DNA sequence: TAGAGGATTGAT
DNA sequence: TCAATCCTCTAC
């Protein structure tokens, strides 16, 4: 399947629902003519209404300004000085919501991804937000692009049943207090490519 | 303008 | 359990 994801998905519902609906979709990147792609198996929702979010209370900064573009834009930032995080901006322009893509199941370009990861096996090369960005050659040059750009796009893939989706609390945001306990991490049940804590 | 810390990862 | 690594944000 290579149907592009309808842009309406990113603006027509709340960010947690969109995070769930992104499971099974396909991320495709083209870097120096090389195509890589993977099924989304893990996501996290971030809403301007809670403390875990870079755009909490809709506060715009130099880093997060892309989050305030219309849903369907690409938000990439550098974490811990070395890892790039891939996010899908959601909601209408002016509202800072986004979905973090945390893990992929590789489809195309597996040999290239292994090479980029210095891996001798295809094992777990995209199981984690920093890893998948490196494997798919995603960096801050993608920040502010729209999904559908020649470098990065989202396509329809597999449709998951409700029973195949697990919701848990998000990872690595203890600073968010009670909001850290929101069940806004979604993953594909029993999928080997989900990141492990 | 200085200082603290982070939506992670991999090695010890 | 801890270091790597650098950009961003906050406070002064």
Taking only the tens place, the pLDDT of each residue in A134-168 is 999 999 999 999 999 999 999 999 999 999 999 99
C1'-nearest nucleotide to the CA of A64: C8
What integer pLDDT is reported at residue A38 of this predicted model? 98
Q: What is the DSSP pairing of strand A83-90 with strand A74-79?
A: antiparallel
Strand B nucleotides within 7 Å of a protein CB: 5-10
Kindly list the protein residues whose beta carbon lies within 7 Å of any strand C atom.
A 54, 59, 61-64, 77-78, 80-82
C1'-nearest nucleotide to the CA of A80: B6
**What integer is the mean pLDDT of A17-46?**
98
**Protein CA at A105 to nucleotide C1' at B6, angstroms:** 26
Strand C nucleotides within 7 Å of a protein CB: 4-10
Average pLDDT score over chain A: 97
What pLDDT, in 10s, does the model give residues A47-83?
A: 999 999 999 999 999 999 999 999 999 999 999 999 9
Q: Which two tokens stand for residue A62?
A: 């130099």
pLDDT band at A108 (very low <50, low <70, confident <90, very high): very high
Percent share of chain A, pLDDT over 70: 99
Q: Which two tokens stand for residue A100?
A: 């973090």
Taking 90 as the threshold, does the pLDDT of residue A112 lie above it?
A: yes
Q: Outline where DSSP puts E strands in chain A.
A: 26-31, 34-46, 74-79, 83-90, 97-108, 152-155, 165-168, 185-188
What integer pLDDT is reported at residue A2 of this predicted model? 83
C1'-nearest nucleotide to the CA of A176: B7
**Protein CA at A2 to nucleotide C1' at B8, angstroms:** 31
**Protein CA at A184 to nucleotide C1' at B11, angstroms:** 30
> Tell me, what DSSP letter sits at residue A4?
B
Quote the CA–CA distance of A21 and A127 in Å, as a whole number. 19
Taking 80 as the threshold, does the pLDDT of residue A1 lie above it?
A: no
What integer pLDDT is reported at residue A160 of this predicted model? 98
What pLDDT, in 10s, does the model give residues A175-195?
A: 999 999 999 999 999 999 999
What integer pLDDT is reported at residue A51 of this predicted model? 97
pLDDT band at A197 (very low <50, low <70, confident <90, very high): low
C1'-nearest nucleotide to the CA of A131: B9
Taking 60 as the threshold, does the pLDDT of residue A126 lie above it?
A: yes
Largest Cα–Cα distance in chain A? 45
How many Å separate Cα A45 from the centre of its chain?
Answer: 9
* CA closest to C8 C1', residue: A63
**Protein CA at A130 to nucleotide C1' at C1, angstroms:** 21
Quote the CA–CA distance of A143 and A117 in Å, as a whole number. 22
pTM score over 0.75: yes
């Amino acid at each position: 399947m290579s149907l592009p994801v309808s842009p309406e998905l990113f603006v027509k519902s709340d960010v947690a629902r969109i995070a769930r609906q992104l499971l099974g979709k396909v991320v495709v990147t083209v870097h120096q003519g090389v195509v890589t792609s993977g099924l989304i198996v893990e996501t996290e929702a971030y809403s301007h209404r809670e403390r875990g979010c870079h755009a909490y209370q809709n506060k715009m900064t130099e880093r997060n300004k892309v989050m305030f573009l219309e849903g369907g834009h690409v938000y990439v930032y550098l974490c811990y000085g070395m890892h790039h995080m891939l996010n899908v901006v959601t909601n209408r322009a002016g509202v800072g919501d986004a979905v973090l893509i945390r893990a992929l199941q590789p489809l195309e370009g597996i040999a290239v991804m292994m090479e980029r990861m210095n891996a001798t096996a295809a094992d777990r090369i995209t199981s984690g937000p920093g890893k998948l960005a490196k494997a798919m050659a995603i960096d801050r040059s993608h920040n502010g692009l729209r999904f559908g750009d020649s470098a990065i796009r989202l396509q329809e893939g597999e449709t998951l049943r409700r029973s195949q989706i697990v919701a848990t609390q998000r990872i690595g945001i203890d600073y968010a207090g009670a909001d850290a306990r929101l069940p806004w991490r979604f993953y594909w049940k029993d999928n080997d490519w989900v990141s492990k804590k």
